[in-house]
Structure formats: C-alpha cells, structure tokens
Amino acid sequence: MVKNRFFTLVAIMSLVVVITLTVREALATSAIALDPEASEADRLERSRAADTARWTAMGEYYEQLNVAQSMERSRAADTARWTAIGEYYVQLEAAQLQRSRVADTARWNAMAEYYRR
C-alpha cells in the first residue's frame, strides 16, 4: 500500500514538474515570438560579453605568468638550438675536411703516377 502511494506521489510530482516547465517554456517562446529582434540583440550582446570576458581572462592569465620563467625557458630553448647547430657544423666540417683530405691524397697520388710514367 505504501508503494502505491509513493508511486502515485512520484507520478503526480513528475506531472507537476512537466506542466510547470512546459508553461514556462511556452511563455518564454511567446515572448520571443512577439519581439524576435530584441531577443537576437540580447543574444548577440550576451555573446559579445562572453567573448570579452573570455579574452580578458586569457589576457590576465598570460600576464600573471612568471616572466622570468618564460624567459628562462626561451633562453634554454635558444641555447639547445644553437648548441645543436654548432655540433652539426662541427661534424659537417670534420666530414668535409676528411673528404677534402681524401680528395687531395687521390689528386696528389694521381699526379705522382702521371709523372712517374
């Protein structure tokens, strides 16, 4: 018996909530239908206000970043990049020097063979 009363109460409460929400939505829709330009203007204004708030918050966030920390990261990245480039050119120079020596040796050997004949 208690289950039947509880079920009935839940069903009635659900019905009341559905009716309330339906009436509220109908009233809001009627207001929009009567003045569509005002609602579009309101929506546009809210959208612009939200965009402004978002971009302002992002600006404040980036202003609060530790400038020294970001400079330190930037300098560390620059240092790593220039060190890698330096190592690349040292290896490139060593390889070119080796090739140059091999070419010089081959040339001088070829000249020596030519003059021996």
Residue 76's pLDDT is 84
pLDDT in tens, 15-56: 888 888 888 887 776 665 566 666 677 777 888 888 888 888
Sign of the alpha-carbon dihedral angle for 88, 92, 95, 97? negative
Burial class (CB in 10 A: 0-12, 13-18, 19+), 39: middle
Residue 23 is predicted with a pLDDT of 82
Is the pLDDT score of 67 beyond 70?
no
- Structure confidence at residue 91 (pLDDT): 84
Q: What is the pTM of this model?
A: 0.33
Q: What is the pLDDT of residue 33?
A: 55
pLDDT at 45: 81
Task: Give the mean model confidence (pLDDT) for residues 56-78.
Answer: 75
Place of tokens 């300098």: 75
**What are 69-84's pLDDT values in tens digits?**
677 788 888 888 888 8
Domain ranges of the chain: 67-117
Report the distance separating Cα 6 and Cα 2, nearest Å: 6
User: Predicted confidence band at 7 (pLDDT cuts at 50, 70, 90)?
Assistant: confident
